Amino acid sequence: MFLPLLVHRLWRLTLQILARYSVFVKELPELLETIRPKLEVIGFKNFSSISAALEDSRLSLSACVPALSDRVTQNLSESCFSHLKSALEIPRLYRRTNKVSALTEKDFEEVPTTASSYVDSALKPLYQLQSGHKDKLKQAIIQQWLEGALSESTHKYYETVSDVLSSVRKMEESLKRLKQARRTAPATPAGPSGGGMSDDDKIRLQLALDVAYLGEQVTRAPPSFQGA
């Protein structure tokens, strides 16, 4: 039975069951000795077949580990990138803030000075894995998942930021060509003195702050993150 509201708990239970099975089948001597008395009571004596069956089960579960790891890594990466892709919204926040008709002192205060809030949320899925499952999973497995998820999500983030910067550059070039075609006056200054930062430069600065802050977050994270 699948209950959407409990999907996170059901997924956690699935991982716990798989981990428990894996431990059981790896302890062949102990598990076999545990069930031997019960089988002897009913007259069962072919224990070699039981041992072989346990080994087959161990190998079968071991063969599933790579696929399971890939799926966990993919899910973690998608969770992180669901926040990082908010970089696509940054141009919308800063476009047209320097129009003369709406020019106020606030325009000069809108020059970005801190990273966007989405960066703080980007690494939370990885922290949750580290803190919530460190007692159930081997550190090497957690390390593998963290490295894979962080590598994949930051690569997508790099591509996203690159696309935004490319779009900003194309917009600038398009506006310049449009002004030249219409033979308009020089670009309207951003402030009374002709200074100030353009919308496009604000976008670039915000992205730079976000990328730098993400790097700081990774650096300040536990050693398992830093290794990624």
Q: pLDDT for 11-28, tens place per residue?
A: 778 877 877 776 666 657
pLDDT at 189: 45
pTM, to two decimals: 0.68
With 0-12 / 13-18 / 19 or more C-beta atoms within 10 angstroms meaning exposed / middle / buried, residue 122 is buried
Is the pLDDT at 197 greater than 90, yes or no?
A: no
Given a contact cutoff of 8 angstroms between Cβ atoms, the answer to whether 221 and 123 are in contact is yes
Region 195-216: mean pLDDT is: 90
Assess whether pLDDT exceeds 70 at residue 188: no
Provide Rg for the chain, Cα atoms: 28
Mean pLDDT of 134-155: 88
More confident residue, 116 or 49: 116
pLDDT at 48: 79
pLDDT (mean) for 117-128: 92
Closest CA to 214 of 163, 166, 154, 144: 154
Exposure of 201 by Cβ count < 10 A (0-12 exposed, 13-18 middle, 19+ buried)?
middle
pLDDT at 108 over 60: no
Q: What distance in Å separates the CA atoms of residue 8 and residue 172, rounded to the nearest whole number? A: 45
179 band by pLDDT with thresholds 50, 70 and 90: confident
Q: Where are the alpha helices (DSSP H) in the chain?
A: 7-26, 28-41, 47-84, 90-94, 105-109, 118-122, 124-132, 139-182, 199-220, 223-226
Q: Where are the domains of the chain?
A: 66-226
